[in-house]
């Protein structure tokens, strides 16, 4: 069922699953602190040659050390399972599990495989499906195809709060392919295609922005008609930003508060 050999088993037949989702679906034993429950099964595409981008803060960046097989993402390991096994487990999941989220990475096969995995899960389960999309690989027609495949909503991980930071951490200076304007353009088109409130922007607090800049990015995403999802920077071992500190708790709390106000 579970394989350590993550490079031999690629999407769409195989997907990586977050540790919390694997615990929720009984793939691995474990208990959540204070009885917390996970309502969303988080899945990630997998390719032997990994993500082609090189975002400075990311555990999946192509130039990250150590070897690809040891890479974590957002602090936790993502083990690989067959898509069939995942779908079977979703159909036996506790009733509080209501959603699946499939995350793209920057890879030439990623667009078609995301659509294919989305179709498969939509046709064989009753859960709502979200996609975390990679704008660099997409155009308007692709968003339409994703909706037709069964996706209910999408997230766009802009991550950096300003254009300068985005370029420095995700663009040419780190040998990455991503472009700030393209990310906002695809977010705008996502709102048009999926509907107001059905697209959102991910932002990471503590990667070099000021509090004012983060609030501006949150405001921009909200005024366009979508939502925001806030993350606190965590220095992934082996990433280019491994020695940076997470944001001060006061900063993060103020940004959380601003996001809700």
Which residue ranges make up the site for ligand SF4 (CB under 6 A)?
51, 53-55, 58, 60-61, 105-106
Nearest to ligand SF4 of 46, 189 (CB atom):
46
CB of 58 to ligand SF4, least distance (A): 3
CB of 159 to ligand SF4, least distance (A): 7
CB of 55 to ligand SF4, least distance (A): 3
CB of 111 to ligand SF4, least distance (A): 13
Q: How far apart are CA 200 and CA 188, in angstroms?
A: 10
Nearest to ligand SF4 of 27, 166 (CB atom):
166
Strand runs labelled E in the chain: 2-3, 14-18, 40-44, 78-82, 99-103, 128-133, 153-159, 199-205, 227-232
Nearest to ligand SF4 of 68, 88 (CB atom):
68
Nearest to ligand SF4 of 160, 193 (CB atom):
160
Q: How far apart are CA 195 and CA 151, in angstroms?
A: 12
Which of the 8 DSSP states describes residue 39?
-
CB of 154 to ligand SF4, least distance (A): 15
Q: How far apart are CA 130 and CA 100, in angstroms?
A: 6
Nearest to ligand SF4 of 97, 171 (CB atom):
171
Who contacts 191 (Cβ-Cβ below 8 Å, separation ≥6)? Answer: 198, 199, 224, 225, 226
Q: How far apart are CA 189 and CA 70, in angstroms?
A: 36
CB of 106 to ligand SF4, least distance (A): 4
Nearest to ligand SF4 of 83, 106 (CB atom):
106
The SS3 of residue 130 is strand
Who contacts 258 (Cβ-Cβ below 8 Å, separation ≥6)? Answer: 211, 214, 215, 218
Question: How far from chain centre, in Å, is Cα 199?
Answer: 13
Give the count of alpha carbons within 13 A of 24, CB side only. 26
Strand runs labelled E in 107-150: 128-133
CB of 207 to ligand SF4, least distance (A): 11
Nearest to ligand SF4 of 41, 169 (CB atom):
169
């Amino acid at each position: 069922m579970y394989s350590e050999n993550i490079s031999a088993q690629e999407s769409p037949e195989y997907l990586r699953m977050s540790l919390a989702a694997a615990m929720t679906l009984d793939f691995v034993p474990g208990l959540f602190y204070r009885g917390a429950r996970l309502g969303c099964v988080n899945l990630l595409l997998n390719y032997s040659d990994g993500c082609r981008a090189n975002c400075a803060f990311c555990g999946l960046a192509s130039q990250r050390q150590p070897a690809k097989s040891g890479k974590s993402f957002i602090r936790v390991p993502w083990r690989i399972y067959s898509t069939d096994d995942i779908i079977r487990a979703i159909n036996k999941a506790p009733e509080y599990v209501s959603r699946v989220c499939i995350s793209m990475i920057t890879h030439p096969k990623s667009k078609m495989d995301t659509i294919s995995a989305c179709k498969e899960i939509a046709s064989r389960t009753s859960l709502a499906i979200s996609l975390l999309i990679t704008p660099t690989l997409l155009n308007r027609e692709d968003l339409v195809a994703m909706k037709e495949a069964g996706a209910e909503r999408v997230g766009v991980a802009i991550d950096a709060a300003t254009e300068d930071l985005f370029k420095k951490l995700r663009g040419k200076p780190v040998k990455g392919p991503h472009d700030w304007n393209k990310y906002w353009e695809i977010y705008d088109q996502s709102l048009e295609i999926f509907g107001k409130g059905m697209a959102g922007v991910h932002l990471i607090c503590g990667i070099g922005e000021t509090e004012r800049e983060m609030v501006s990015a949150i405001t921009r995403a909200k005024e366009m008609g979508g939502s925001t999802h806030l993350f606190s920077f965590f220095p992934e071992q082996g990433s280019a930003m491994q020695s940076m500190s997470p944001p001060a708790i006061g900063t993060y709390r103020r940004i959380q508060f601003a996001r809700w106000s």
